[in-house]
Amino acid sequence: MRHVHKVFHETSASEFNKVYEERFNYHSTVRFGMHIKPMDQSTYYELYYVPTNKMIRMISDLCIISRDFNTTFGNLPKVAQKQFIIECISEELYNTNQLEGIRSSREQIVRSTKDVIFNKKSKKRFESMIKSYFHLLDDFEFPQTSKDIRKIHDDITQGEIDSQELPDGEIFRKETTYILKKSGSGKVVHQGITPESEIISLTERLLNFINNDSDIPNLIKVAVSHYYFGYIHPFYDGNGRTSRFISSMYLSKDLGNISTLSLSRGCNKYKTKYLEAFEISNSIRSRGEMNSFIETFLEIIIEALKQMNTELKEKSLLLNLALKKLDGEPKLQGLTKNHKDIMFVLAQNHFFDSSSGLTVSDLTEIFEKSAVTIRKIVKELLDFSLVEQEGERPAYFCIRHKYFEE
C-alpha cells in the first residue's frame, strides 16, 4: 500500500482528498481515538492505520529474531550473560545520549554501569539512568498515570538537564516548546502541546491506549505510542530518552527483556530515517496515517536486533571454540577443576567484555571462594603463562594475549 504522504506529492489536491477519505473509511482501517493538528493548521486529524501484509511479516520477523536471540542468550554461561547485559545497557545508553546530543563515551558508560551493577558506593554519572535500565531486566510496573511518566523522566534524565530546562508545571512543562529540524536550518517542524492541562489529558489518553487490552497488536501500539509521545512533547528536554525507555518497557512483552535493549542503538544508527518519520507523521500530507511511522519503527528494531543477534552468536561460537581449546590444554591436565573453571570464566570475560580483565575480588564473588584460594589458583595460572596480570591495586587478570589465536 502506497503511503498517503507519497500520494500527496503525486496527485492534485482533490484527488489526494479523495484517496485520504476512502482510506480513512476503509472497512479494515483501525482508528486510535487520538488526534493531531499539524503546524499552522486548524484541522485535527485522527490517527489511524490500515493493517497490511507487510506489517504482519515485519511483526513475524521480529518475533522470530527475538526468539532466536533469547535462545542463544539463554544457553550462555552466567558470567557471559552478565557481561553481555552490561555491554547492551552501555550501548543503549551511549546511543540514546548520542541522539540527544549528550557528551559521553562508551568507556565512561561501561565503567559507570559496572560500578552500579557491582554496588560500588562512589557516585557515578548516569547512575540513575543505568539503574532504570537494569529495572527493565526485572519485574517492573508499567506507567498508569502522568505522574508515573514524570517519575520515569526524572530517573532517566537525572543530573543531565540544565536547571532552566527542568519541568516547571504541576507535572510537565508550563510553557511552549519547539522542535527544530535536525539539519541545523533552524526551521521549526513541530510545536509541543500546550497548555499543561492538555498535555496531562493527552498523556492520560495515550496511557489508556497502550495499557488497554484490545485487538491492536502490542507492537503496533508501541509504535503509535512512541510517535504520539513525541507529538505531545511533555517536557522541555529529555522527551526522546523518556519515550525510548517507555517503548522498551512495552516492547519486552513481545521481544523479551534483553531484546528491548536494541531500540536506541537502532534509532541512532538510522537516525535520519527515525527523525524523518516523526516529521512526515506530523505533517498535513500524512493526515494522521500511521502506516509509514509504524513500518519505519518496526524496521529499525528489526535491523538493530539482527545486528545484536549476530554479535551474540559470533561471541557464543568463539566461546564454544575456546572451551574446546581449554579442554585440550596440556598445562591444565595436572591442575584442579577450579583452575579450568577460572580459565573458562576469564575466557567469557575475554569475549564478552572489552575491559582489561577481572580482579581477585570479582573472581571471589563469582566462585564464592576465599580471596586466599583465588589468589593461589591465579598465581599458578600465571606461573604456567596461561594468564596475564594488568595493573596493580587492583590487579586485573585476563587470558594471555593471543592465547586463543595459537
- Residues (pLDDT < 70) of the chain are 118-123, 182-186, 354-355
Scored b (16 or more CB within 10 A) or e, 300-320 reads bbbbbbbebbeebeebbeebe
Residue 120's pLDDT is what? Answer: 62
DSSP 358: B
Residue 195's pLDDT is what? Answer: 96
pTM for the whole structure: 0.91
Residue 355's pLDDT is what? Answer: 67
pLDDT digits (tens, 9 = 90+) for 132-157: 888 888 878 999 999 999 999 999 99
Could you tell me whether strands 387-390 and 396-399 are parallel, antiparallel, or unpaired per DSSP bridges? antiparallel
169 contacts: CB under 8 Å, gap ≥ 6: 196, 199
Residue 336's pLDDT is what? Answer: 93
3 state SS of 251: helix
Residue 122's pLDDT is what? Answer: 59
Amino acid type, 329: E
- 76 and 69 Cβ atoms separated by less than 8 Å: no
Residue 119's pLDDT is what? Answer: 67
C-alpha cell at 357: 580483565
Peptide bond into 394 cis (omega under 30): yes
C-alpha cell at 260: 528491548
Q: Maximum distance among all alpha carbons in the chain?
A: 85
Residue 60's pLDDT is what? Answer: 97
Residue 126's pLDDT is what? Answer: 81
Q: How far, rounded to the nearest angstrom, does the alpha carbon of residue 282 sit from its chain's CA centroid?
A: 24
Domains for the chain: give ranges and CATH numbers: 53-311 (1.10.3290.10), 328-405 (1.10.10.10)
| CA–CA distances in Å: residue 357 to residues 49, 107, 331, 383 | 50, 14, 21, 18
Q: State how far the Cα of 194 lies from the Cα of 200, in Å rounded to an integer.
A: 10
Amino acid type, 55: M
